[in-house]
Amino acid sequence: RAGLSTYRIGQQVLAYDTVLSTQPLAHEAAAKGAPEGTLVIAEQQTGGKGRLGRPWHSPRGTGIWMSLIIRPEIPLPKTPQMTLLTAVALAKTMWEETGVDIKIKWPNDLFIGDKKVSGVLTELNAESDRVNYLVIGMGINANLEQKDVPPELSSIATSLRIESGKPIKRVAFIQRFCENFEREYDHYLREGFERVKSEWEQHSYTIGKWITVSTIQYTLEGRAIGLDEEGVLILEDATGKRHKVYSADVNYGAN
């Protein structure tokens, strides 16, 4: 494919070989004034981070481990929408590059069938009510082969290569992701969340499913019925009562 057609997303790339995690490197770059759209990429992470303090397995050569810096001028409570937008852009890119059907598990896991292929970790830097920047970390199991998947993960994790039967061209993938992200993001900044919401719902793994949400304070069970206009998940319990579920609340268990 010819060169990257975006005007800011992916126009600056900081590429590393081995790092602990691309997340703190992106924070450092952002604090030093890296422009919006800067992408930090590593070939391998020795301390890759997942959500909820979990480790993220990031071996050499087989994955796409990257963190994107964005500086949206949006109010703080809307920042979770950026994670949903990222998941939509990733799902589209994966489908375009492999033809495999991708589902989004609330709030930000990408699934093929019942296995996870990618996850998103969004970190926020804000001062009082103002968003300085977001670091959106993305881990994509691109070219792992079955033999590379640790046995304890083989029932819950997969890769684009395993599912499509073809190796993934990582540079082309990243390029297409940047284009898809920029298109969604520009539309979102101009027109608001509506399009992301409907695309997220179309690709959703969670909507229609009976789920359990656990926090330290309570456990809630119900059917996921959609997103509200803020991007909060709506759950309907057995009595028909509706509840709002924030991404921070959800704990699916091992995934």
Among 37, 39, 43, 45, binds ligand BTN (CB under 6 A): 45
The residues in 181-210 that bind ligand BTN, with binding defined as CB under 6 A, are: none
49 versus 92: smaller Cβ distance to ligand BTN: 49
Regarding 51 and contact with ligand BTN (CB under 6 A), the answer is yes
Regarding 121 and contact with ligand BTN (CB under 6 A), the answer is yes
Regarding 115 and contact with ligand BTN (CB under 6 A), the answer is no
The residues in 226-245 that bind ligand BTN, with binding defined as CB under 6 A, are: none
The residues in 122-181 that bind ligand BTN, with binding defined as CB under 6 A, are: 137-139
63 versus 222: smaller Cβ distance to ligand BTN: 63
133 versus 222: smaller Cβ distance to ligand BTN: 133
Among 43, 97, 109, 249, binds ligand BTN (CB under 6 A): 109
66 versus 82: smaller Cβ distance to ligand BTN: 66
Q: Kindly list the distances between the CA atom of residue 185 and the CA atoms of 6, 89, 128, 193, 224, in Å, as whole numbers in the listed order.
A: 12, 9, 24, 10, 26
Whether residue 45 is annotated as binding a ligand: the answer is yes
Q: How far apart are CA 112 and CA 41, in angstroms?
A: 24
Whether residue 116 is annotated as binding a ligand: the answer is yes
Shortest distance, CB of residue 42 to ligand BTN, whole angstroms? 7
Regarding 104 and contact with ligand BTN (CB under 6 A), the answer is no
Regarding 10 and contact with ligand BTN (CB under 6 A), the answer is no
Shortest distance, CB of residue 2 to ligand BTN, whole angstroms? 27
User: What crossing angle do the helices spanning 170-191 and 80-98 adopt, rounded to 10°?
Assistant: 140
| Footprint of ligand BTN (CB under 6 A) | 21-23, 45, 48-51, 54, 56, 58, 65-67, 109, 119-121, 137-139
Q: Binding site for biotin: residue ranges? A: 45, 116
| Residues flagged as binding site | 45, 116
